[in-house]
Amino acid sequence: MCSNTSSAQTDTCILHLKDAGNKYEQGNFDDAITLLKSTIEHCQLAKDDEIQASKILILCYQNIDNLEAADRTARAVLKLDPNYRPDKFKDDASLIKLFDKYQPQPTFSIGLSGGINMPFVKTINKYSIVHPDADPQTNYKNRYNLQLGLQMEKRIYKGFWLQLGYRYRVTKYEHELLDVNNTTVDYVEKLTYSDIPLSLKYYFGSAAIVPYVQAGAEAALLAGALSTTTRDDQKDIINRTALRNKFSVGFSAGAGAAYRLRALLLFADLRYTYFSRRVNKNGTRYDDPVNLYKYYYIDDDFRMDNLQLNVGVSLILSYKNMKVGKDKRHN
């Protein structure tokens, strides 16, 4: 019974739309407006049907010079589909002109990103067991590794956006000890972090390709630290998590560009993060007996900045349609 009632109601609504279209074609604009408004209000139309009905309603309002009502109906269409644009080959020129006055501006998005990062090891104090501390004969090498992140962005004012995210980051560096009993000790450490970045972004304009800059802070939570030490044919893998500070705060700055493709935003950016806190934990320099006695390796006091290249995609979830030109009363 309910299914039959719903089907009958749908058939009636479709008939009303056809009848309204005929009244518009005959120039009976007032009756067409009454019928279209009632149908849109009381019928559960599919989105495409509601947009089609609204387009006829706009044309009716334009024909009776009720331009304010035409604008109001156009804004209702853009709420249904923020990226809607009339067909330039099929639709009336007045519809195209009206919708060209509106530009959908994203207000909220969520996204996924990934890329590569490279640490920059900054030594504060150097230490050595086999050489003087002033001349430890060591060499640091920065290695590339990967990160993967999630983020959400909210427009706060004009081109300014606030971004909050989560990033899983693996960072790796290499430390060579030269001339240790006439051999070289190679120490490689992999650190895994969970980062929570918060940044302010500014987009320059609203073209298809938009450059942006960003700056902010991020909390870095250490998930694990694993070292691999080798000398000649010897190799040991050691869990060094207990020897590392588990929390640090960094300050970042970067720039990038985004390309908008309807509801998607493709982006790429470069970001540098400065961390002031040391990576090695105070009082743990001699707490790793394998590296200490077998390889004569101890930590320097050091901190580690990070350079990241990210690429990703964001999905725009909400918009605000801005009226361009002189009349901006309905922004």
Residue 115 three-state SS: strand
Q: Which two tokens stand for residue 189?
A: 């450490």
Q: What share of the chain has pLDDT > 70, as a percent?
A: 95
Rounded Cα–Cα distance for residues 106 and 108 (Å)? 6
Question: Which one is predicted more confidently, 220 or 85?
Answer: 220
Instruction: Assess whether pLDDT exceeds 60 at residue 329.
Output: no
Q: Comparing 85-94, 110-119, 186-195, 226-235, which segment has the lowest mean pLDDT?
A: 85-94
pLDDT of residue 184: 95
Helix axes 47-63, 67-80, angle to 10 degrees: 170
Contact between residue 172 and residue 189 where contact means Cβ atoms under 8 Å apart: yes
The hierarchical CATH code for the domain 2-100 is 1.25.40.10
Smallest CA-to-CA distance from 159 within 215, 82, 212, 217 is with 212
pLDDT of residue 9: 60
pLDDT of residue 170: 98
Please tell me the pTM assigned to this model. 0.79
Instruction: Assess whether pLDDT exceeds 60 at residue 73.
Output: yes
Contact between residue 273 and residue 218 where contact means Cβ atoms under 8 Å apart: yes
Instruction: Assess whether pLDDT exceeds 60 at residue 328.
Output: no
Half-sphere exposure in the Cβ direction for 3 (13 Å, CA): 0
- Cα dihedral 108/169/146/245 (nearest 10): 150
pLDDT of residue 331: 43
Per-residue pLDDT, averaged over 201-215, amounts to 93
Rounded Cα–Cα distance for residues 220 and 200 (Å)? 18
Contact between residue 115 and residue 310 where contact means Cβ atoms under 8 Å apart: yes
**Burial class for 14, CB neighbours closer than 10 Å (0-12, 13-18, 19+):** middle
Smallest CA-to-CA distance from 310 within 229, 227, 195, 174 is with 195
Q: Comparing 90-104, 143-157, 178-192, which segment has the lowest mean pLDDT?
A: 90-104
Contact between residue 174 and residue 187 where contact means Cβ atoms under 8 Å apart: yes
Specify the residue for token string 């450059």.
211
pLDDT range class, residue 262, cuts 50, 70, 90: confident
Rounded Cα–Cα distance for residues 50 and 37 (Å)? 10
The hierarchical CATH code for the domain 106-319 is 2.40.160.20
Residues 6+ apart with CB under 8 A from 101: 323, 324, 325, 327
Per-residue pLDDT, averaged over 270-293, amounts to 97
Domain edges within the chain = 2-100, 106-319
Per-residue pLDDT, averaged over 72-88, amounts to 89
Matching fold, domains 2-100 and 106-319: no
Instruction: Assess whether pLDDT exceeds 70 at residue 77.
Output: yes
Q: Comparing 55-64, 67-76, 81-90, 216-225, which segment has the lowest mean pLDDT?
A: 81-90
Q: Comparing 1-5, 132-136, 227-231, 268-272, which segment has the lowest mean pLDDT?
A: 1-5
pLDDT of residue 81: 87
Instruction: Assess whether pLDDT exceeds 70 at residue 265.
Output: yes
State how far the alpha carbon of 153 is from the alpha carbons of 43, 111, 163, in Å: 36, 8, 4
Rounded Cα–Cα distance for residues 331 and 211 (Å)? 24
Phi, psi of 41 (to 5 degrees): -75, -40
Q: Which two tokens stand for residue 115?
A: 């890329």
